[in-house]
Structure 1
Amino acid sequence: MEWIAVLLLFFVLCTLLNLVLPQPPPSRWRRRMHRSADRLTGRLRHRAAPEPDPFDTLRLQTRLGHLAGKIRRVESTPRVYAKAHRLMALEAAYDDLLDEACRMAGVSTEAHLKRGEEKRWQEEQELASRGWSW
């Protein structure tokens, strides 16, 4: 029963307030509320990813070329201390850079492929078809 009285009191107060303030709020309040709403929607709105910086692309291509040269040098040298360990580390770094380059170039990588020669070859071909060279 009390909630009916509270609800009735609420409606009476809203009616009295409407009679006292028949005009809309001043324009400065509307502008302020509009700016607040714009800021809020700006935060919630999905922003498009910015274009990659060409210097970042060039830096990444340079790093890929440097690592590819190191891999070739370790593979071609017959006697290198911890050759297998070095090759594994260099190839892992090269694969990471290839993944980063694919993200930057917008190449969709196939998730079902494990790291290895096949995935590396496909990523290199996709990047080369988009004009990447290293």
Structure 2
Amino acid sequence: MPWSLLFWLLAPSLAFVVVLALVPGGEPSPRRRAVQARLRAGVAGQLDRVAARVRHGRSVPPPDPFDALHVQLRLGIVTQHLQQLEADPHAWARAERIIASQLAYDALLADACRLAGVEVFPRAKGDPWERMREEVELAARGWTW
């Protein structure tokens, strides 16, 4: 008898909660959106790690630090070369040399992203938005050049 009484008292409240959950509400608060975004990012990171383990059959080994250092040095050299080209208005075939240097810089950025674990999206060559995204991601991971 007491269990049936408890059931008849809790069943309507549970049904009410389910109905309220199905009713669309207003915009969630900024705090709730931030928590949801953090949870989504955490779940996505876990899924990426699981997918990498499934693909490779084991966890991905960390990159060699000397490879990362080599790529950082090359990025610095190419960046300095690009700055010199942009500063010299009388350079011969300046536009072609700048484009070639930017493509080399993009290739080095892709190598750096591979070493740092940043995803490189397939975009057109020389896409400035993708270049900026990769630079920001690398800087967030502590890369300097």
1: distance between equivalents of 2:66 and 2:106? Answer: 21
2: distance between equivalents of 1:68 and 1:122? Answer: 17
Question: Which letter maps to 2:57?
Answer: H
Deviations 1:3-37 (A, max 9, x none): xxxxxxxxxxxxxxxxxxxxxxxxxxxxxxxxxxx
2:91 match? 80
2: distance between equivalents of 1:126 and 1:48? Answer: 22
Deviation at 1:121, TM superposition (A): 0.6
SS of residue paired to 1:75: helix
2: distance between equivalents of 1:98 and 1:46? Answer: 27
Question: Which letter maps to 1:114?
Answer: A
Deviations 1:87-129 (A, max 9, x none): 1110110000000110110001223x32321111110000000
2:110 match? 99
Which structure exhibits the higher relative contact order, with contacts defined as CA atoms closer than 8 Å and separated by 6 or more residues? 1
1:114 match? 124
The one of 57, 65, 75 aligned to 2:76: 65
1:53 match? 64
2:49 match? none
SS of residue paired to 1:49: coil
2:50 match? none
Question: Which letter maps to 1:107?
Answer: V
Deviations 1:23-76 (A, max 9, x none): xxxxxxxxxxxxxxxxxxxxxx83443211111101100000000000010001
2:25 match? none
Unaligned runs of 5+ in 1: 1-44
Matched, 1:125 2:136: yes
* TM-score computed with the length of structure 2 as normaliser: 0.58
Q: Larger C-alpha radius of gyration, 1 or 2?
A: 1
Detail structure 1 runs of 4+ shifted over 2 Å in the superposition: 45-50
1:12 match? none
- The alignment yields a C-alpha RMSD, in angstroms, of 1.4
* TM-score computed with the length of structure 1 as normaliser: 0.62
Identity %: 44
